[in-house]
Structure 1
Amino acid sequence: MKSFRHRLLTTILIWIGVLLAGLLIVIGQLFPIYAETHNTAEVWLMLFFVFVVAMIFSAIIGYRIIQVQALPVENVTQTALELAKGNYRARAFEYSNVGTVELSSTINILARNLQEITAIREMEQERLKTLIENMGSALIMIDRQGGITLVNRSFMQEFQLAAEDIDGKFYKEIRIPYELERFIEQVFMTETAARNQLEFKQGIHSKHIDVYGAPVLGEHEQWLGIVIVSHDITELKRLEQIRKDFVANVSHELRTPVTSIKGFTETLLEGAYKDPATAFSFLEIIEKESNRLEMLIKDLLELSKVEQAGFRVDAVPTNMKNLIERVGEMVERRLEEKNIQLKLQLEPVIVQGDPNRLVQVMMNLLVNAISYSTSRTAITVRLYQQDGEAVIEVEDQGIGIEASEIGRLFERFYRVDRARSRNSGGTGLGLSIVKHLIEAHHGNVKVESEVGVGTTFTIHLPLAS
């Protein structure tokens, strides 16, 4: 730009010089004639005046030339420099000068196109960033040297990392499970896509992830690094294990009474029926096992019903104090058999619930507490209001539950003490039914326990409006 202005200014100065030289030649030709009739002072004054007028006229013409030719080019050049810096909002003045208007217009069209392209690119980058940040799977990208170039929020949450743990670090420097580190090394070494399911410890719990890794290739198949995507499948593994345990437990629970019934029936048929005392004893056992089998099938059907999608309870205003007292009378015989005292600390509370289902809930909780309590202990049931909810507590002085087992307490067929549950006739489905029924009432149930001290089940239910 400066060189253009210098060249233009030089051209103007040369033009002025030529003009002055011509003027001087003309004056030189006229000077002798004029000097004969005028004195010398007047002649030199006239020459000075002519020179000043010529300079002013030349300056006006030069300034006009610069305005017309140099300024539009300078403005276009400044606009081009701004575009080169990335300022795509810059625009050139579109002068009416025929020589530069097309150049200015073209620069402005280029600027508008670059601005539109940049806006589209920024929008696409924002979409991609939002997608990566909010995807359910954890993602990490690693460059050729092993440096971390990109991680999303899910990865940081899954492996309990902070931004300062990742910035400018290599993947070997961050706290990730050893199993995942080995998988990353495998993808690095082979430069081929791979998939695997990894299991590792996170605190006291086991975690399972489904991980996929692949090389990142640029133009001309240039290897740029690798990308690792992992998905937490711990819950899926847990559900799969529950399904396996459910099938195994159902098979076992059904096989035990069926085997007993079949065995004693065969013994009776082989001649034991001839001894009345033996036959009566065997028939009592058969009846007991039949009742147990019937109870198991009944609980299985009940659990299947409450687990179905769309299951609802017939909720009406229910006097929870009267309901608990009625359930206490129903388990009175069992309490007397084990010499267990039932303490009721009940406030008048009206809940929004299904009376029949709530009887079932309280019955299962009290039977469970009796089954796991020793003789000469007490079971306390409390009922009160708190924070706009009804709270029911069932506290026993039984064997208690290990902290590691509390999370599995509401699983189907899960038992803390299998021998004691089986001897008491339990099916292992009662607490699972309780959990589903309470959730159907839009409530929740929690467990607190200490081994050798006892267990407390706490239920929260909505109050009647």
Structure 2
Amino acid sequence: MKTLSTRLFVSFMALIGIILAVLGIVIGQLFPVYIGEYLDRSIAAEERVLYDTLQQSDIILTEEDQKRLVTALIDVDTSALLDVAQDRFFVAMVFCSFVAFIIIGIVINRTVRIFTEPIENATRTALELAKGNYRARAFENGVSKTAQLSKSINILARNLQDMTTIREIEAERLKTLVENMGSSLMMIGREGTISIVNRVFLKRFNYAYDQVRGKGFRSIALPDDIVEVVEHVFLTETPIRKQVSVQIGHEIRQNEIYGAPVVGDHGRWLGVVLVIHDVTELMRLEQIRKDFVANVSHELRTPITSIKGFSETLLDGAYKDEAMLLSFLEIIYKESDRIQILVQELLELSKIEQHGFSVDITETSLRDIVINAADLTGAKLEEKNMEFAVDMPNDVIVAGDPNRLMQVFTNLIANAINYSLENTTVTIRVYEDEEDGIVEIQDEGIGIEAAEIPRIFERFYRVDRARSRNSGGTGLGLAIVKHLVEAHDGKIKVESEVGVGTKMIVRIPKS
């Protein structure tokens, strides 16, 4: 492809060639006329000279002979002169034309390059910008006009590069935001095709990116509730918030769906954006909070009602009866103690559940801990005429906090006694395997229904509420036990049969 400078140079040279050719033709046409006039003057002068010479010589010729002689002599000289003049003129004409052509060509070439090189450079830069190469720059040289053009193109290139950089940064920020959202996000274009989805959406609904990108939202088997939200926004062009249950596989999750129209800067309808929050855990925690408040209120209401009732009775005059006074005061003390235990266990559980709670791990004798815990519950055992059956062939050293492990096994042994019938046995076994020290506490009590076993470690959950409350329990003991065992990186397991008894199995890692 010829450049602008080449085309201009060829054009100018062709024009100069034509001008020189025309000039040569014109001069060639005028030259004979000029030579003729010149020869006429020369011939007239020579005739006079020849006539004068013949008259002065001794040669006697007639006038007619003189005329013929002069004419012959002049014809010879004129022909020779004309031939020489024409030859010299042709050579001079060719040489001058060639030299002029070369000089003019050099001048034109330099002049054309001065003007066209900046333009060609600016053109190449503009083409690179059109291709998307915003790093291209033009040389800012040349005459003032072309230099201004190059500067303008460079300013345009820098602005385009800055705009592209800003757009890339914003696109990367948007992508990072979308991909790292904790909620599912989907954007649907005006035509109903999916343009944006994030990883959470793909993972939650078990899709691959290629399965949804560019597909119609009705064609990818979305749950009906989600499709209804999208269609509502398309029809009404108004935002909507809806809470729905979505079945994904065999699991039902609670989701809050927010759909809204996407409108551009000039009011142009762009589509629909859908944000899906999984609120299953929030709803579970909210239910736990409600249950906790209800349970605490229920647990406090009974002793407070008792304290208030007996206090009012005493104020009405029952304090005058000494036996009744002592009985009522014992009941008030017992109920106050029950409230105190409840508050202490709530504080204890709150402390254990706090993030960063840890236990003081040391080498601990599991047998000593279990024996001491059994001794602490001995009084309750004797009240029900029960006995311990202990199987501890060898001591087991574990990595544990002695005080916290004492709390665990005291609670478990006390539960075994409380939920057992009189004249029965609580069996305690201590042994080990390759990794853990193991303690089994087995009673011969009422047992637990299989459906209730997963819930016994919940706060305030009781298998038999009447028996638990009468035994002084708060319903928090097993929740505390579970957290303490897990704080030791241990495990607790329950095996139970209704009417036969319950076995608690605790595993604590060895030191």
Class of the TM-score when normalised by the shorter of the 2 chains: 0.7 to 0.9
Structure 1 residues 247, 102: CA separation in 2 closer, same or farther (over 3 Å shift)? Answer: closer
Moved more, 129-138 or 415-424: 415-424
Looking at structure 2, the residues matched to 232 and 396 of structure 1 have their Cα atoms a distance apart, in angstroms, of 42
How far residue 401 of structure 1 moved from its aligned partner, in angstroms, is 7.0
SS of the residue aligned with 1:17? helix
Structure 1 residues 311, 220: CA separation in 2 closer, same or farther (over 3 Å shift)? Answer: closer
How far residue 76 of structure 1 moved from its aligned partner, in angstroms, is 0.8
Structure 1 residues 37, 15: CA separation in 2 closer, same or farther (over 3 Å shift)? Answer: closer
- Kindly report which structure 2 residues correspond to 1:127-138, keeping only aligned pairs within 5 A, or say none: 127-138=173-184
1:182 to 217, 221, 228: 228
Structure 1 residues 115, 56: CA separation in 2 closer, same or farther (over 3 Å shift)? Answer: same
Contact 2:345 2:476 in 1 (8 A): no
Aligned-residue Cα RMSD (Å) equals: 4.8
Looking at structure 1, the residues matched to 267 and 427 of structure 2 have their Cα atoms a distance apart, in angstroms, of 75
Q: Structure 1: where are the runs of 5+ without partners?
A: 267-278
1:357 to 404, 407, 418: 404
Instruction: Look up the match of 1:429.
Output: 476
Deviations 1:157-196 (A, max 9, x none): 4444332332222323335443333333333332212223
Contact 1:373 1:396 in 2 (8 A): no
SS of the residue aligned with 1:87? coil
The normalised TM-score by structure 2 is 0.69
- Kindly report which structure 2 residues correspond to 1:411-426, keeping only aligned pairs within 5 A, or say none: 411-416=458-463, 426=473
Instruction: Look up the match of 1:305.
Output: 348
Looking at structure 1, the residues matched to 341 and 8 of structure 2 have their Cα atoms a distance apart, in angstroms, of 104
Contact 1:347 1:383 in 2 (8 A): no
- Kindly report which structure 2 residues correspond to 1:114-263, keeping only aligned pairs within 5 A, or say none: 114-202=160-248, 205-253=251-299
Instruction: Look up the match of 1:319.
Output: 364
Q: Aligned residue pairs: how many?
A: 447
Which is greater in Rg?
Answer: 2
Q: Residue 131 of structure 1 aligns to which amino acid in structure 2?
A: L
2:148 to 102, 113, 119: 102
Structure 1 residues 337, 346: CA separation in 2 closer, same or farther (over 3 Å shift)? Answer: farther
How far residue 414 of structure 1 moved from its aligned partner, in angstroms, is 1.9
Contact 1:257 1:290 in 2 (8 A): no
Q: Structure 2: where are the runs of 5+ without partners?
A: 36-79, 313-323
Deviations 1:83-138 (A, max 9, x none): 12221111112233334111111111111121112112211221222122223333
Instruction: Look up the match of 1:18.
Output: 19
Looking at structure 1, the residues matched to 2 and 296 of structure 2 have their Cα atoms a distance apart, in angstroms, of 92
Looking at structure 2, the residues matched to 174 and 404 of structure 1 have their Cα atoms a distance apart, in angstroms, of 40
Looking at structure 2, the residues matched to 190 and 338 of structure 1 have their Cα atoms a distance apart, in angstroms, of 74
Looking at structure 2, the residues matched to 450 and 178 of structure 1 have their Cα atoms a distance apart, in angstroms, of 43
Moved more, 46-55 or 158-167: 46-55
Structure 1 residues 430, 385: CA separation in 2 closer, same or farther (over 3 Å shift)? Answer: farther
Structure 1 residues 205, 291: CA separation in 2 closer, same or farther (over 3 Å shift)? Answer: farther
Structure 1 residues 344, 417: CA separation in 2 closer, same or farther (over 3 Å shift)? Answer: farther
- Kindly report which structure 2 residues correspond to 1:64-83, keeping only aligned pairs within 5 A, or say none: 64-83=110-129
Identity %: 40
Moved more, 92-101 or 390-399: 390-399
Instruction: Look up the match of 2:51.
Output: none
Looking at structure 2, the residues matched to 361 and 312 of structure 1 have their Cα atoms a distance apart, in angstroms, of 16
How far residue 397 of structure 1 moved from its aligned partner, in angstroms, is 8.7
Q: Residue 226 of structure 1 aligns to which amino acid in structure 2?
A: V
How far residue 410 of structure 1 moved from its aligned partner, in angstroms, is 3.0
How far residue 358 of structure 1 moved from its aligned partner, in angstroms, is 2.2
